[in-house]
Amino acid sequence: MAFAILTAVVAFLAGAVASISGFGIGSILTPFLALHIDTRLAVAAVSIPHFLGTALRFWRLRESLNRHVFLRFGITSAAGGLTGAALHSTTGSPALAGIFAALLLFAGFMSLTGQSERLRFPGRVAWIAGFVSGLLGGLVGNQGGIRSAALFGFPLDRHQFVATATAVALIVDLARIPVYLASSWSELLGFSLPIGIASAGLLAGTLAGEGLLRRIPEHLFRRAVAVLLIVLGVVMAYQAL
């Protein structure tokens, strides 16, 4: 019973954070479940509530999607993320995780100081930035944070920012879930109750976070995301060490 309640609470928090920043479900929910089950199974299990929460978030914010940024940055980011995920088991290392953490911390502090507003990804640079950020995130196993950090390079308001990040995450989910189901179907069936509880908590958190997103003033939004990036960067640095 205690595990079920904690799962619902953590999933609710993850959904709320993701609705505000465009990332956070995997960063929060996967480590929690990995305390109770094998990390490989935890990643596969989280992919299901992750998809449900991401799909709901995108549906609610679909009119805010910046199609120009999505086509220039988002498609290559998803492609890079899937490539990195495929290579994750053979190339992951503490050094790579350390570089990833440093990039998150750099992006977070750049945003807090206002320097990120000078960063822009014009033309083909956006394609390259999308693929590289997705590739690095896929290699380390945490795509959402670095994706949001890279999106600082585009002039997006808070709703466009979250909607565009969510659209990219949805593409990645649609591509990876069939792989997880094919490889871990029987194990996931045995873990179906916690997955269902996490899904319900995450959906509720997604709706709650959407209300908070509407209330955050535009000039404070990027600072809020920056703080979350710094927190994630510190956690990743700790894990790397």
State whether residue 25 is helix, strand or coil. helix
Residue whose C-alpha is closest to residue 145's, from 45, 227, 52, 61: 227
Helix (H) or strand (E) holding 32: helix 25-34
Spatial CB neighbours of 219, under 8 Å, sequence gap ≥ 6: none
Q: What whole-number distance in Å separates Cα of residue 61 and Cα of residue 16?
A: 14
State whether residue 154 is helix, strand or coil. coil
pLDDT of amino acid 150: 86
Average pLDDT of the chain to the nearest whole number? 87
**Percent of the chain at pLDDT above 90?**
44
Instruction: Provide the greatest CA pair distance for the chain.
Output: 53
The number of domains in the chain is 1
pLDDT tens digits, residue range 28-76?
A: 998 899 888 887 788 889 989 999 999 999 999 999 999 999 998 988 9
Q: What whole-number distance in Å separates Cα of residue 76 and Cα of residue 78?
A: 5
Residue type, 159: H
Q: How confident is the model at residue 5 (pLDDT cuts 50, 70, 90)?
A: very high
pLDDT tens digits, residue range 155-201?
A: 899 999 999 999 999 988 888 888 888 888 999 999 999 999 999 99
Q: What whole-number distance in Å separates Cα of residue 129 and Cα of residue 134?
A: 8
pLDDT tens digits, residue range 146-161?
A: 888 888 888 899 999 9
Task: Please compute Rg for the chain using Cα positions.
Answer: 17
The phi and psi torsions of 161 (rounded to 5 degrees) equal: -60, -55
Q: What range defines the domain where residue 216 resides?
A: 2-240
